[in-house]
Amino acid sequence: MKRDWAYYKDFTEEEFAADEYFQQWVLLPDAQTNLFWNSLVQNKPEQRIVVSNAARLVQHLVQTGFHIPFLSAHEKQAMREQIFKQIELPAKNEVAPIKKIQHKKWKGRGLAAAAITALFIMRFFFPGVTKTQDVPGMTSEQTAIKQIKEIMLPDGSLVILNGNSSIRYNSDFATSAKREVLLEGNAFFHVKQTPSFTPFIVHANQLNIQVTGTEFNVNARTKATDVVLTNGRVNVSLQKDQTKTVFMEAGYKVNVDTLNNKLITTKTNTDLYTAAWKQREWHFEETPLATVALLIKEYYGMDVVFTEDNQRDLMITAVVSVNDFQTLINVIERTLNIDIQITNQQLIIINPQSKQL
């Protein structure tokens, strides 16, 4: 639920991080949340550092595999009991005292509040477990459905952000020891290699993708995240289990098997990706409509609904501009003699003969 500025007047870092509206802005930003939170920081400059640190904390929870929604009611209660037990303990080794949380503010936030508090407790009582830093403001970029945007990062790396997607990165991106990007949705990365080989890491759902200089596509629209490498090499690892790492070479695809919690590597044809990103064109040559549907989902953020199973096997040969979505739809209709109805975020495939019945 959207709040007003007065509601957040005295919030601490952990209270911001536990707030659902704040989490929505950090992880799934949109025009409304960007306007609200950017305006708050501009009008309340004294909260700028607190907001920045809270945003980093939310990202840290996601990047380290801390999935708040999946704890059971029993686990939630056990966490709460442990939290308040720790809060009552005296400070050790002269660490900074903990500000006692006002229970009335946390009432109703349930697990999210408890989980964020737990992380802060670990920071104070067990400083070796996790570490926080003062960070500058975050920069975010996002696209609407069917929109494609080219973004030049401060280090000279290029990100082509697909429809209904977003990225976030620090404003000190070019000078930090690690270049890190948080991706929601789908994007193509052309990473610029630095003289000092500064690591470039993309955090996408449960994956960490680390490179120095290369080109790759990341599809993080679902938990079954996949990475297609068109040039160079990258290391892909699960955030929950860093021992599960794949060293990718160009021409291969890695995707997450969410059922078995492992990475699967397969050989793939990267021509569709390279033509789309470098020439800004789709080069379809006897390409099944099912494959085209996956690309439409990845690039434009729209689902394709087949009304008949045999529609998936229809083959299309065509060259179409990536930026001209409507022309792509028209070409598919004319080439395959089908009708496509666009409803909200869905493309519904209909055979003309079925339409007449």
CATH no. for residue 305?
3.55.50.30
Q: Is the pLDDT of residue 218 over 70?
A: yes
- Answer yes or no: do 144 and 265 share one domain: yes
Count of domains for the chain: 3
Residue 21's CB is within 10 A of a number of other CB atoms, namely 16
- Answer yes or no: do 27 and 120 share one domain: yes
pLDDT number for residue 317? 92
pLDDT number for residue 279? 83
pLDDT number for residue 62? 59
Q: Is the pLDDT of residue 101 over 60?
A: no
- Answer yes or no: do 78 and 178 share one domain: no
Inside any domain, residue 68: yes
Inside any domain, residue 23: yes
Return the percent helix, strand and coil in the chain, to nearest 5: 35, 30, 35
- Phi, psi for 138 (deg, rounded to 5): -90, 145
Q: How would residue 244 be classed by pLDDT, with cut points 50, 70 and 90?
A: confident
Q: Is the pLDDT of residue 105 over 50?
A: no
Mean pLDDT of all residues in 269-282: 84
Inside any domain, residue 325: yes
- Answer yes or no: do 216 and 239 share one domain: yes
pLDDT number for residue 312? 92
CA distance 254 to 241: 16
Domain-ending residue, one of 228, 249, 270: 270
CA distance 268 to 33: 38
Percent of the chain whose predicted confidence (pLDDT) is above 90: 28
Q: Is the pLDDT of residue 153 over 90?
A: yes
Q: Which two tokens stand for residue 244?
A: 């599960």
Domain housing 188: 138-270
pLDDT number for residue 151? 93
Residue 35, H or E segment: helix 31-43
Mean pLDDT of all residues in 324-335: 90
Average of per-residue pLDDT values in the chain? 76
Q: Which residue has the higher pLDDT, 278 or 334?
A: 334
CATH number, domain containing residue 144: 2.60.120.1440
- Answer yes or no: do 192 and 108 share one domain: no
Inside any domain, residue 162: yes
Inside any domain, residue 133: no
106-122 pLDDT, tens digit each: 444 444 444 444 444 33
- Answer yes or no: do 251 and 157 share one domain: yes
Inside any domain, residue 130: no
pLDDT number for residue 280? 84
Q: Is the pLDDT of residue 324 over 60?
A: yes
Question: Of 216, 220, 278, which is closest to residue 249 (Cα–Cα)?
Answer: 216
pLDDT number for residue 14? 74
Residue 136's CB is within 10 A of a number of other CB atoms, namely 13
pLDDT number for residue 83? 43
27-45 pLDDT, tens digit each: 777 777 777 887 777 777 7
Domain-ending residue, one of 209, 237, 270: 270
Q: Is the pLDDT of residue 136 over 70?
A: no
Question: Of 182, 189, 240, 192, which is closest to residue 213 (Cα–Cα)?
Answer: 192
Mean pLDDT of all residues in 249-253: 90
Question: Of 182, 204, 153, 203, which is closest to residue 55 (Cα–Cα)?
Answer: 182
Min mean pLDDT across 11-25, 49-63, 165-179, 288-302 is at 49-63
CB of 118 closer than 8 Å to CB of 79? yes
Inside any domain, residue 221: yes
Q: How would residue 288 be classed by pLDDT, with cut points 50, 70 and 90?
A: very high
**Greatest mean pLDDT range, 137-141, 172-176, 242-246, 310-314:** 310-314
pLDDT number for residue 306? 92
Model pTM above 0.85? no
- Answer yes or no: do 262 and 150 share one domain: yes
Q: Is the pLDDT of residue 235 over 60?
A: yes
Domain-ending residue, one of 251, 270, 289: 270
Q: How would residue 48 be classed by pLDDT, with cut points 50, 70 and 90?
A: confident
pLDDT number for residue 241? 81
Q: How would residue 157 be classed by pLDDT, with cut points 50, 70 and 90?
A: very high
- Answer yes or no: do 177 and 240 share one domain: yes
pLDDT number for residue 74? 53
Inside any domain, residue 132: no
β-pairing verdict for 252-257 and 226-231: antiparallel
CB of 188 closer than 8 Å to CB of 273? yes
- Answer yes or no: do 83 and 25 share one domain: yes
Mean pLDDT of all residues in 151-177: 89
